Structure 1
């Protein structure tokens, strides 16, 4: 009986350590990409609120979005947040398309919203505090 309780407690400690490792890995990965995500959200806000200013500086915004996309793709993260990164990259692509094409802008902004919602679901799936993002 003494050995069984020792085995059970060892398994419990192992599971706690494994859970902490998982949570820390996801948290560290999110911290690596949080600046890219924040900048993307700022640009999205500018596109929605300051439409005239963005249209005047369209090429600058496109360059910023492409550099954010490249930086996000080059960030070394674990496989745990690959889906999140893919959705963010697709969101950035849609933002670039919305800047390049004036007629289909609402369609591409709808895609941005769709991919951002998928990012939120992915974060919820990973059980992360939303304030981190």
Structure 2
């Protein structure tokens, strides 16, 4: 009987380790791309609030976005956040189109919001919010 208890406790410890590895890999992946995502959010804020500044420096903003897209694409992350990265890349592409176009900016802005929202839903799917509330693990701080 004592071996059954030992077996059950070993299985429980193994499951806890697997869950920790899963959440740690997501957290580490988000740390790798957090600077790129933060810079994208800053550029989006500039586009919304300082439209005249963005119009004056179109080439600079587009080159920054291209660097961000390349950085997110080339970052070595696990397969777990591939969908999130794809949504961020599509969001960046729409930001580039929005800056380069003179008309139809509202449509591109709606697409940026759509892909950002899809990326947030993907993260919520990956990181079970109930588990975070219990363990105080918060990978969302890296976004």
- The residue that corresponds to 2:28 in the other structure is 28
TM-score by length of 2: 0.90
Distance in 1, Cα, partners of 2:21 & 2:47: 39
Q: Which residue of 1 aligns with 2:98?
A: 98
Q: Give per-residue Cα distances to partners, 1:49-107, cap 9 Å, x unaligned.
A: 00011001001100000010001100000001001000000000000010111211100
Distance in 1 (CA, whole Å) between partners of 2:94 and 2:117 is 14
Secondary structure of the residue aligned to 2:93 is helix
Write the distance in 2 (CA, Å) between the matches of 1:102 and 1:4.
71
TM-score, normalization: structure 1?
0.97
What is the rounded CA distance, in whole Å, between the counterparts of 1:81 and 1:16 in structure 2? 21
1:53-68 aligned at under 5 Å gives the runs: 53-68=53-68
User: Which segments of 5 or more consecutive residues in structure 2 lack a partner in the other structure?
Assistant: 133-137
Kindly state the Cα deviation for residue 123 of structure 1 after the two structures are TM-superposed.
Answer: 1.2
The number of residues matched between the two structures is: 133
Cα RMSD for the two superposed structures: 0.9
Runs of at least 4 residues of structure 1 off by over 2 A? 128-132
Q: Return the offset for 1:126.
A: 1.5
SS at match of 2:141: helix
